[in-house]
Amino acid sequence: MADGHKLEIFRGLVKFKSNTQKIWGVLAFLTLITAVEVVLGIIKPESLTDTYVLGMKTINWIFIILTLVKAYYIAWDFMHLRDEKSSLRRAIVWTPIFLVIYLVFILLVEADYIYNVYKDGFVSWNF
């Protein structure tokens, strides 16, 4: 849509005066998230690398969730999906999400199975 930008982010918590301001605001937010990711990646606090949530390290959950948050703001504000009709937005967003979850689930479960075959299945590969 050419005009009529929605200027609120964080569900209306922050409201910008103009589209340009919103862009800089989103940049600041994305930079902050990237900085948090990089700092966590460098120091790797043990409280996050030694604990597991649903079979995955806590720190990896944090990384993946922060990535999805970044992806959300890139798509919603930079690709201005926020200003598009909800039907278009849903068609664009949910199609890949559904297919990716499906693909990732199948491939990772299969890979874990192969890992176990290599580990206990009398297959010699580490020589």
Partner 1 sequence: MNSTVTTGTETSVWGGGNQPLGASYGKLMMWFFLVSDALTFSGFLAAYGFSRFKFIETWPIADEVFTHVPFFHGNYPMIYVAFMTFILIMSSVTMVLAVDAGHKMKQNAVTWYMFATIIGGIIFVGSQAWEWGTFIKGDHGALETKGGRILQFVKADTGERASLSDFAASLPGDRVIHERKNGLWFFQESALPSVSLEEVVEGFKADSNILIRTELINEEGEKTLLDRKASLAKLAEATQVVEGANLIHNEYGSRLFADFFFFITGFHGFHVFSGVVINIIIFFNVIIGTYERRGHYEMVEKIGLYWHFVDLVWVFVFTFFYLV
Binding site for partner 1 (CB under 8 A): 1-3, 19-20, 23-24, 27, 30-31, 34-35, 37-38, 41-42, 49, 60, 63-64, 66-67, 70-71, 74-75, 77-80, 84-85, 87-88, 91-92, 95-96, 99-100, 103-104, 107-108, 110-112, 114-115, 118, 124-127
CA–CA gap between residue 118 and residue 87 (Å, rounded): 46
CB 122 to partner 1: min, Å: 15
* Residue 81 to residue 1: CA distance in whole angstroms: 10
Rounded CA-CA distance 81/75 in Å is 6
Q: Which of residues 6 and 92 has its CB atom nearest to partner 1 in the complex?
A: 92
Q: How far is the CB of 35 from partner 1 (least distance, A)?
A: 8
Task: Return d(Cα 11, Cα 123) in angstroms, integer.
Answer: 53
Rounded to a whole number of angstroms, the minimum distance from the CB of residue 17 to partner 1 is 14
